[in-house]
Amino acid sequence: MDPEDRICRNIAGKDGPGAMQPGGRDRDGRSGTILLVEDSDVVRDVIARMLKEGGFTVLQASGGEEALALSRRGDAPIDLLLTDIVMPEMSGVELADRLERERPDMRILFMTGYAEEVVVNEGILGKHRECIGKPFTGEQITRRVRTILFP
List the domain range (segments joined by +) for residue 134: 3-7+31-149
Largest CA distance in the chain: 43
pLDDT at 121: 53
Distance CA 102, CA 94 (A): 13
CATH number of the domain enclosing 145: 3.40.50.2300
96 domain-assigned: yes
Distance CA 87, CA 59 (A): 18
pLDDT at 5: 34
Strand partners, 34: 58, 80
Strand partners, 87: none
141 domain-assigned: yes
Q: What are the average pLDDT values for consecutive 10-residue runs of the chain, which has 151 residues? A: 33 36 52 94 96 94 96 88 92 93 92 65 64 90 92 84
